[in-house]
């Protein structure tokens, strides 16, 4: 039996996608082998790879002057990759700190360039500093921010306008959750294991004019220009993750694309936040204009009941609700593949639990 899995990542995938993968597992379309067993340079895999990129480009309406790279190493590799490709050691690079992942990105960037923290929400990371108060550098090589903080559940509901400075976004936990205007960004990166597909794949979407500036010591497999030139196949790409992500892109297209996803995600989030706010028992600490549609942390009025909550939730088929080990409490991650029925089941359970224990 499938459970409702609220994991922050690796996270729930659409059931139809898993069923299709199961169907195709032993023999992908008459090739007599699984996608895992194919050469990445063979005709079959090249067709899979190209279709996935075309579908992603269509979903996000990616302009033709952007390259899409299918890389390995996770989003964390890009904490260094961005700095190595877009700055030199004397560059000033602007970072906005809105949570644990921004902070990690900043820590990594400090090894490579002069980091100016243009804005810092400060712990416990429950809001976004007003854009007008950001202390930006006119000559920054780029400005980096984290549109959705997976741990704190803090999300930007606008795209900062930083003028001519290339805007770099770690979209790991929000990409594909709604339409975005890619042309506002210099570079977008995202680990796959939340809203794209399985772990092992990292997407980089980068504007052409930012290519070719990498430091000489940049490892080839992290060099965007080299990877772009080789179609992300300078070395062996994460083939199965690429394939499965392609199935997710098809599923998104079949389900109305990102506009429909955005409406669904907004409705799911509203349902859950309304239940929390109206309960008198649960609490979400994040400023209302910065609440995430994807990751919803909440605490119980009686933290001593945390264990009971997760145990009873599990019996009701609702799993992985524990908050991040650094913050405790609960967190429900409700990515694209979490159906509204799952959120409704969670809300019903939470209401019952509060009635019983409140």
Catalytic residue among 67, 194, 242, 268: 194
Residue with Cβ nearer ligand PMP (146 or 284): 146
> What is the Cα–Cα distance from 3 to 15, expressed in whole angstroms?
11
Per CB under 6 A, which of residues 171..190 are in contact with ligand PMP? 172-173
Minimum CB–partner distance for residue 282 and ligand PMP (Å)? 23
Is residue 251 annotated as involved in ligand binding? no
Stretch of 116-124, 168-176, 177-185, 347-355 lying at the interface with ligand PMP (CB under 6 A): 168-176
161 an active-site residue? no
Residue with Cβ nearer ligand PMP (173 or 223): 173
> What is the Cα–Cα distance from 73 to 50, expressed in whole angstroms?
21
251 an active-site residue? no
Q: Are 142 and 167 in contact (CB under 8 A)?
A: yes
Q: Which of 109, 170, 218, 273 binds ligand PMP (CB under 6 A)?
A: 170
94 an active-site residue? no
297 binds ligand PMP (CB under 6 A): no
DSSP letter for each residue of 226-249: HHHHTTT-SS---HHHHHHHHHHH
> What is the Cα–Cα distance from 318 to 347, expressed in whole angstroms?
11
Q: Which of 81, 160, 166, 191 binds ligand PMP (CB under 6 A)?
A: 191
Residue with Cβ nearer ligand PMP (202 or 279): 202
Per CB under 6 A, which of residues 5..24 are in contact with ligand PMP? 9
Residue with Cβ nearer ligand PMP (38 or 338): 338
Is residue 150 annotated as involved in ligand binding? yes
76 binds ligand PMP (CB under 6 A): yes
97 binds ligand PMP (CB under 6 A): no
Is residue 195 annotated as involved in ligand binding? no
Task: Count the residues of the shown chain that bind ligand PMP, applying the rule CB under 6 A.
Answer: 11
Residue with Cβ nearer ligand PMP (279 or 320): 320
265 binds ligand PMP (CB under 6 A): no
> What is the Cα–Cα distance from 258 to 309, expressed in whole angstroms?
33
Long-range contacts of 47-55 (CB under 8 A, 24+ apart): 48/242, 48/243, 48/246, 49/231, 49/232, 49/237, 49/242, 49/246, 51/246, 52/242, 52/243, 52/245, 52/246, 52/249, 55/246, 55/249, 55/250, 55/252, 55/253
Q: Which of 14, 74, 152, 186 binds ligand PMP (CB under 6 A)?
A: 74
What's the residue count for the chain?
358
What are the two backbone dihedrals, phi and then psi, of residue 250, each rounded to the nearest 5 degrees? Answer: -65, -40
Is residue 101 annotated as involved in ligand binding? yes
Q: Which of 45, 70, 95, 101 binds ligand PMP (CB under 6 A)?
A: 101
Stretch of 57-65, 69-77, 121-129, 157-165 lying at the interface with ligand PMP (CB under 6 A): 69-77
CA 225, 231, 236, 241 torsion-angle sign: positive
> What is the Cα–Cα distance from 293 to 277, expressed in whole angstroms?
15
Catalytic residue among 55, 94, 101, 293: 101
What are the two backbone dihedrals, phi and then psi, of residue 188, each rounded to the nearest 5 degrees? Answer: -125, 135
CA 91, 143, 79, 288 torsion-angle sign: positive
**Biggest CA pair distance of the chain:** 63
Minimum CB–partner distance for residue 206 and ligand PMP (Å)? 17
> What is the Cα–Cα distance from 83 to 87, expressed in whole angstroms?
5
- H or E, element range at 297: strand 295-300
Q: Which of 85, 98, 150, 336 binds ligand PMP (CB under 6 A)?
A: 150
Closest residue to bound ligand PMP by CB: 74
End-to-end CA distance of the chain: 31
Helix axes 239-254, 15-24, angle to 10 degrees: 130
Binding site for ligand PMP (CB under 6 A): 9, 74-76, 101, 146, 150, 170, 172-173, 191
By annotation, the residues acting in catalysis are 101, 170, 194
- Which parts are annotated binding residues? 41, 101, 150, 170, 193, 235-236
């Amino acid at each position: 039996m499938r459970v409702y899995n609220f994991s922050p990542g690796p996270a729930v995938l659409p059931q139809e996608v898993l069923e299709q993968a199961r169907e195709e597992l032993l023999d992908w379309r008459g090739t007599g082998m699984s996608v895992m067993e194919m050469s990445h340079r063979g005709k079959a895999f090249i067709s899979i790879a190209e279709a996935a990129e075309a579908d992603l480009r269509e979903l996000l309406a990616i302009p033709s002057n952007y390259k899409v790279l299918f890389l390995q190493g996770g989003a964390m590799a890009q904490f260094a990759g961005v700095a190595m490709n877009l700055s030199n050691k004397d560059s000033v690079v602007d970072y906005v700190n809105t949570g644990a992942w921004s902070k990690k990105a900043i820590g990594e960037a400090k090894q490579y360039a002069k980091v100016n923290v243009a804005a810092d929400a400060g712990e416990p990371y429950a809001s976004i500093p007003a854009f007008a108060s950001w202390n930006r550098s006119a000559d920054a090589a780029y400005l980096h921010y984290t549109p959705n903080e997976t741990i704190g559940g803090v999300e930007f509901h606008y795209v900062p306008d930083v003028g001519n400075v290339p805007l770099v976004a770690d979209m790991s936990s929000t990409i594909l959750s709604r339409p975005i205007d890619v042309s506002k960004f210099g570079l977008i990166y995202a680990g796959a294991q939340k809203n794209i597909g399985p772990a092992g794949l990292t997407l980089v979407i980068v504007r052409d004019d930012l290519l070719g500036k990498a430091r000489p010591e940049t490892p080839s497999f992290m060099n965007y220009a080299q990877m772009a030139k080789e179609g992300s196949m300078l070395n062996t790409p994460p083939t199965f993750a690429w394939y499965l992500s392609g199935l997710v892109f098809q599923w998104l297209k079949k389900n109305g694309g990102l506009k429909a996803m955005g409406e669904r995600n907004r409705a799911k989030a509203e349902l859950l936040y309304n239940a929390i706010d109206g309960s008198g028992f649960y609490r979400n600490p994040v400023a209302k204009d910065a609440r995430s549609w994807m990751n919803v942390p909440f605490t119980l009025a009686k933290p001593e009941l945390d264990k009971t909550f997760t145990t009873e939730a599990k019996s009701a088929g609702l799993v992985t609700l524990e908050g991040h080990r650094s913050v405790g409490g609960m967190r429900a991650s409700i990515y694209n593949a979490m159906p509204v029925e799952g959120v409704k089941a969670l809300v019903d359970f939470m209401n019952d639990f509060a009635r019983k224990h409140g």
